[in-house]
Chain A
Amino acid sequence: MTVPRLADIARTIVADRDGALDLGPGSRGCASGATVFGNAGHSLARRSVLIATRTQRAAARAMVDLDGLVGRMTIAPPDLTHQDLASVLADAAVETIVTDDPAAYAGLTPSVVALGSSTATAGDARRDHDTQWVMLTSGTSGRAKIVAHTLAALTGAISPVRAVDPGAVWATFYDIRRYGGLQIFLRAILGGTGLVVGSEGEPIGDHLRRLGAAGVTAVSGTPSHWRRVLMSRERGAMAPATIRLSGEIADQIILDGLRTAYPRARVSHAYASTEAGVGFAVDDGLEGFPARLIDEPTASLAMKVIAGTLRIRSNRAATGYIGQAAASGGMTTLADDDGFIDTGDMVERRGGRCYFTGRRGGIINVGGLKVNPEEVEAVINAHAAVRMSLVKARRNPLTGAIVVADVVLSDGGCDEDATRTAIVEDCRHRLERHKVPVLVRFVPALALTPAGKISRTDG
């Protein structure tokens, strides 16, 4: 599928707390083909560029303007750490940083182009290149993974531009610099609709009133985002016709809660990941998904379950990893020989329905933040009184899961309360707060696999 250059079709107005930005050609105040970067636009052609902005609005402007112009466009998430920045610059071979905050990037090797500082004058920037779109996905520990996409793959789940519904306005609780939010951004651009995004530090009540005032018709977010909405008195401030959940397991509690709070809305939950792309959406109001999605593959989506995890083959999948995740600066393909990507998401089939049961390897998802249980176990096991421990997920209605620990003591005679306090204190000092076990239980023994490893199957 050929996707037009975003600059040629964009007419979306992106609104945040501080105002609105028209991404349409008129607002660029210049002839077609010009960029907001003025003469700098020429030097950006075919380059590897990092978009690192303070606001989502600025990122939206840059994405529309650079698509088709630059060779590689890496989109920095809002919480990119200094450490990750260095590895991203190296791995994505970044030559230029495009930003609304040039002072923050002074002194680095790549050149810096300030967004919005120059008035466009160049009328002949040619967008004749299929830009590679690059996103970051949080690893469970250490460096972020850098995932490359084509625009065609990113927009593969968005139906071709229909007759534009002038009344439609999209909103997302995601940041548009992450996969889930980028989907909604591209949906708005391709559909020619408005888009309302969040602003950092904005209270949820203010955000919901703003969504209501903008007349949003479709809103997307993770189950954790939606739980916060349902706990806000302002949840009735908006009346979307479409509600979409993705990014975490949507359980029956949140689906029922949304149906009660928004009885007229169509509630759907989608399965997507930065690597596998958008898999499918389910809108029957029930958790899990129909097994026929696996039994009846289509041209655009085939799925299978191998060793308990879901594998997906789709034209929406990423092209591959770049940088350190790749062998030698090239690109690592994600798929197996048959083109299937292992999602690492565990699926259980019960009758005609499949249910997500967690992540392989016991990776725990606490409100969207991943926890590697072995990292937590290492901290607990360092305690003198501990023989071994098992860190696992426990279902939680607010964050989907929390971290709990079963601990075997080496000496049964010690003071359990004091030991528990000491273990938790150690964890607080050495781990991020979402990784600290909420409950520590002392058990006489832990089950082992035949290979002598701690069994993680009953988490």
Chain B
Amino acid sequence: MSTRTIIIDAMRRVASEQKKTLAPLEDHTQLLDIGLDSLCFAILVARLEEALSVDPFGLSDEVELPVTLADFVRFYEKALV
């Protein structure tokens, strides 16, 4: 499964558990407009760390936080290399 698919599946699961409605998930969709609040993102990042064994936010040289969905996927892909 691609990183993108894993991330989008995880987003859908968090949204459904937290009773949030997701915006259409396009590459250019801004994370803050996706329909997930801070707690949802916190859960998402924790789940992805379990699934992918990586926390790109914790890497010291990564200081540019992702803004769009495509940024977010790239953020994880880079950390997985």
Which of A36-44, A116-124, A222-230 has 4 or more CB atoms under 8 Å from chain B? A222-230
Q: Give 15 new A-B contacts, CB below 8 A, not counting A231-B65, A233-B68, A396-B42.
A: A203-B32, A228-B32, A233-B30, A253-B57, A253-B60, A366-B42, A367-B38, A397-B57, A399-B38, A402-B42, A428-B17, A433-B39, A434-B39, A438-B42, A438-B43
Nearest CB in chain A: distance from B16 CB, A: 12
Q: Size class of A's contact patch?
A: 20 to 34
Q: Does B12 contact A (CB under 8 A)?
A: no
Q: Indicate if B80 sits at the interface (CB-CB under 8 A).
A: no
* Residues of chain B contacted by A428 (CB below 8 angstroms): 17
Instruction: Tell whether B45 is near chain A: CB-to-CB under 8 Å.
Output: yes
Tell me the minimal C-beta distance from A220 to chain B in angstroms: 18
Closest chain A CB from B11 CB (angstroms):
14
A204 to B30 CA separation, bound complex (whole angstroms): 12
CB–CB B45/A398 < 8 A: yes
Chain B proximity mask over A91-129: 1 for CB below 8 Å, otherwise 0: 000000000000000000000000000000000000000
Q: Flag whether A257 is at the interface (Cβ < 8 A).
A: yes
Do A394 and B38 have beta carbons less than 8 Å apart? no
Pick 22 A–B contacts, CB within 8 A, sort by A: A233-B30, A233-B68, A252-B60, A253-B63, A256-B63, A257-B65, A259-B63, A367-B38, A367-B42, A395-B58, A396-B46, A398-B45, A399-B38, A399-B42, A402-B43, A402-B46, A404-B46, A433-B18, A434-B39, A438-B42, A438-B46, A438-B47
Q: Within the complex, what minimum Cβ distance (angstroms) separates B66 from chain A?
A: 7
| A230 and B43 within 8 A (CB) | no
Interface string of A223-244 (1 = CB under 8 A from B): 0100110111100000000000
CA distance A257 to B59 in the complex (A): 12
Q: Is A439 within 8 A of B50, CB to CB?
A: yes
Could you tell me if A399 and B39 are in contact, using CB atoms closer than 8 angstroms? yes
Determine how close the nearest CB of chain A comes to the CB of B1; give it in whole angstroms.
20
Which residues in A have some Cβ–Cβ distance to B below 8 Å? 203-205, 224, 227-228, 230-233, 252-253, 256-257, 259-260, 366-367, 394-399, 402, 404, 428, 433-434, 438-439
- Known interface pairs A396-B46, A402-B46. Does A232 touch B67 (Cβ–Cβ under 8 Å)? yes
**B25-68 near A? 1/0 per residue, CB < 8 Å:** 00000111000001101110111001000010110100111111
Partner of B32, one of A232, A402, A439: A232
